[in-house]
Structure 1
């Protein structure tokens, strides 16, 4: 009968190891669950904060439990109209708008371009707005120039070359490669 007790002890030891493994797994899953709950709480707070901010904006209707309804509202951008869906840091150019509605770096780029008599390249703009002339900064400026062209702040007469915007917006020129 000694071998029967040895077999029971071996099974008990194996069961004890399995219980310890499961307890460790539960602790790991509990930690993951806590992190997920914290993330969920941050998202809930962010949604509520955005709803509060949008509710304070004139002309925006916010559903109490959800996002804004997406109705068209008058914008603070010189009477331009836009649909409230997300954040648009560089608004589409509208008559009567000045560079003062742009974020600082875009405003500086438009000012540099406006001060130049001819096309300006991205690598020429970067040091003028206070950034080092590194490849990453030049590519960032090129991206910003493309965004300004796409939103109507600058015109492009040929790929990589920005042309005069006309008398309505002033002598803004840009060019880049």
Structure 2
């Protein structure tokens, strides 16, 4: 019974976070050319870690990498410290993360998000490097 109650509470928390995000998105005026909700410069938004929802700001929206979530900072630092571009599995190994396929794919999603937002550069062969 206690486990069911905890599971139900967890789901209610997730739905509450989703409701807040949708409400915020609907309340903001639509901006042409933006693919993410508008944020004040320097603002980062994250929901509770167990909700699976984190917004990584575009590089030009914040003053530095210290405003990224800790796991993204670790990945960014690992790529920045490397002598050259690294593939995802090597980044996982260098960062001390697991190298099982599921863990590598989760890390690849984070690296792709960092590349989409200007924090990293994705090379044609699929490796990642610091931005120019």
TM-score band, normalised by the shorter chain? 0.5 to 0.7
TM-score of the superposed pair, with normalisation by structure 2: 0.60
Whether 2:28 is the aligned partner of 1:70: answer yes
Cα distance in 2 for residues equivalent to 1:161 and 1:132: 18
Q: Which residue of 2 aligns with 1:150?
A: 116
**RMSD after superposition:** 3.3
Higher alpha-carbon Rg:
1
Note the alpha carbon deviations across 1:105-126, whole angstroms, 9 max, x for none.
1110000001011011111121
Report the CA distance between 1:127 and its aligned residue.
Answer: 2.6
Cα distance in 2 for residues equivalent to 1:73 and 1:147: 17
| Unpaired stretches in structure 1, ≥5 consecutive residues | 1-37, 52-65, 79-86, 167-177
Q: Which residue of 2 aligns with 1:17?
A: none
| Unpaired stretches in structure 2, ≥5 consecutive residues | 1-7, 30-37, 45-52
Contact 2:120 2:128 in 1 (8 A): yes
1:46 aligned to which of 16, 27, 30 = 16
Report the CA distance between 1:132 and its aligned residue.
Answer: 2.1
Report the CA distance between 1:96 and its aligned residue.
Answer: 5.9
TM-score of the superposed pair, with normalisation by structure 1: 0.47
Q: Which residue of 2 aligns with 1:161?
A: 127
Q: Which residue of 2 aligns with 1:107?
A: 73
Report the CA distance between 1:73 and its aligned residue.
Answer: 5.2
Alignment of 1:117-128 (within 5 A): 117-128=83-94
Contact 1:105 1:129 in 2 (8 A): no
- The structure whose residues are more often strand, as a share, is 1
